[in-house]
Structure 1
Amino acid sequence: MTIDEVMELAPVVPVLVIDNIADARPIAEALVAGGLRALEVTLRTPAALDVIREMAKVDGAVVGAGTVLNPDQLEAAVDAGARFIVSPGLTKTLGKAAVKSGVPFLPGIATAADIMRGLDLGLTRFKFFPAEANGGIPALKALAAPFHTARFCPTGGITEATAADWLAIPAVKCVGGSWVVPKGAPDKAKIEAAARAAAQLRG
């Protein structure tokens, strides 16, 4: 898949922080059943790589790794079955490694210089992060204006109530959100219902 194809699977990419490997499949099954196929498993827990392996077994799930900080983590995530990579920022080292690997890559940006660094590497799809803390919708609109080829997935502080406003921006292809899967033991029915509502969000 290309990064565009990943970003177009649904308007919301669930951002997942999962501690318990046993929760992986139930969560992935509920999200896919609700219409959210692109799943970002953040590398913030010791279980993350095993969670990616488990979720990758679920039919219809396109599982990626988030919070990827360096080439070693990128390689480990791909080896675990990640089909796309998301990072909170963009360094030349990570960017070059991602481009060389050929894996769909969504690097984090917060400034015009970040975007220009990405463009120098041949990248045009970015995660605007942390979206609300970096000035919200006005900031992204201002950044998007001079970079007309760039498209974005804002993540960080976005809620079910505000997601549609972000998705209404022409340069936004999808948003990242953690609200779809609340912390604690997974309730498959509630997750599926939240996923279904998120899948219907359109700008």
Structure 2
Amino acid sequence: MTQLDTWLANTKPLIPVIVIDDLVHAIPMAKALVAGGVHLLEVTLRTEAGLAAISAIKKAVPEAIVGAGTVCTADDFQKAIDAGAQFIVSPGLTPELIEKAKQVKLDGQWQGVFLPGVATASEVMIAAQAGITQLKCFPASAIGGAKLLKAWSGPFPDIQFCPTGGISKDNYKEYLGLPNVICAGGSWLTESKLLIEGDWNEVTRRASEIVKLSDI
């Protein structure tokens, strides 16, 4: 059982993909998600507030399992670890990222989870050759969605996926119903309007709603 498997055994299989522009939103947003039953939080590095938000959530919301998304370089990877990220998510897969993930684990610096993104069968094979068997499928809906993942279950029976990109409350259950999907990621729980307005009750409501939908 991997670390991700252990986390998912105790939390619902949804990872909100979070973009934080203002650091002041980080802690109340994380508390609102946890209150709704969502504990795995991917804070993207698309904004300058990303790393600081990860650090703030890690310290102030111990019930949350916080990770870094949009990690594209080894430098991003290291900065995310230093900020306290418990898992790393990348939109793609590169030799540099594979090497960095191996390095930080071998030297004992980090024992978290690395979810690199794949969009083709060749990339799945490259990841498997590197010993990475849990992958992000991105952008899922644009490259075939649930039909693609179902097709991949044949040639890649030992690979598990976390699809993101086009995942919503309307198709979430379809993805989770696939045997090779362990969790899914989406941005609708923390859309920018909710953060700007500080509508934390709505964040909690959406989280609670999707938790109920995931009971399949």
User: In 2, distance between residues paired with 1:97 and 1:134?
Assistant: 27
Instruction: Judge conservation of contact 1:155–1:176 (CA < 8 Å) in 2.
Output: yes
Q: Which runs of 4+ in 1 moved over 6 A?
A: none
CA root-mean-square deviation = 1.3
TM-score by length of 2: 0.90
User: In 1, distance between residues paired with 2:78 and 2:6?
Assistant: 21
Alignment of 1:8-23 (within 5 A): 8=9, 9-23=11-25
User: In 2, distance between residues paired with 1:99 and 1:133?
Assistant: 30
Alignment of 1:57-72 (within 5 A): 57=59, 58-72=61-75
The 3 A distance-change label for structure 1 pair 127 and 161 is same
The 3 A distance-change label for structure 1 pair 38 and 196 is same
Aligned partner of residue 76 in structure 1, secondary structure: helix
- 1:175 CA displacement: 0.5
User: In 2, distance between residues paired with 1:99 and 1:199?
Assistant: 33
User: Which residue of structure 2 lines up, in the alignment, with residue 5 of structure 1?
Assistant: 6
Alignment of 1:118-197 (within 5 A): 118-184=127-193, 185=196, 186-197=198-209
% identical aligned pairs = 44
Deviation readout 1:152-196 (Å, 9 max, x if unpaired): 110001110110011100111111010111213231110011111
Would you say 1:89 and 2:92 are equivalent positions? Answer: yes
Aligned partner of residue 180 in structure 1, secondary structure: helix
* Bigger shift: residues 6-15 or 165-174: 6-15
User: In 1, distance between residues paired with 2:6 and 2:46?
Assistant: 25
- 1:6 CA displacement: 3.8
**Aligned residue pairs, count:** 203
Q: One-letter code of the match for 1:78?
A: I
User: In 1, distance between residues paired with 2:119 and 2:153?
Assistant: 11
Aligned partner of residue 127 in structure 1, secondary structure: strand
- 1:7 CA displacement: 4.4
Structure 2's unaligned 5+ residue stretches are 106-111
Alignment of 1:26-105 (within 5 A): 26-57=28-59, 58-102=61-105, 103-105=112-114
